[in-house]
Amino acid sequence: MRNAALVLGIISGLLAMIVGFFSFGYTELTGRFDEVGDAFGLFDDPQTIRVVSILAPMLALAGGAMARARALWGGCLLLMSAAGMYYAFGFNVFTMFPIAFAGLGGVLAIAAGKPDEPKAHF
């Protein structure tokens, strides 16, 4: 289960980076050019979008990397990443896989109560 959490966390982090690049870039674009915001719409809270665009991929990648050695900590980071993406971006066609992969990876990492190594996290 730890290896699955590792892989899901890394994939989730990479996909979240793509979503984060575009979201952060769109907030910058609408901040500089009002016409773009008028034509395509604005975010309610662009600062939250910018913060989550950076933190969510970082938490997912760190959680995935930690899943083998520290499954409980890695699982918590993965779940925080999924919750942050859901809060900031919502659940849509672009975020469904990063949120689902981070959530599933977090659950698998936390559920690894009987680890391969003799040191348990419970």
Domain boundary assignment for the chain: 2-111
Please give the single-letter amino acid code of residue 35. Answer: E
Tokens of 62: 């760190």
How would you write the pLDDT of the chain (122 residues) with one tens digit per residue? 889 999 999 999 999 999 999 999 999 999 898 888 888 888 889 999 999 999 999 999 999 999 988 899 999 999 999 999 999 999 999 999 999 999 999 999 999 866 555 666 65
Asked if residue 1 lies in contact with residue 112, where contact means CB atoms within 8 angstroms, the answer is yes
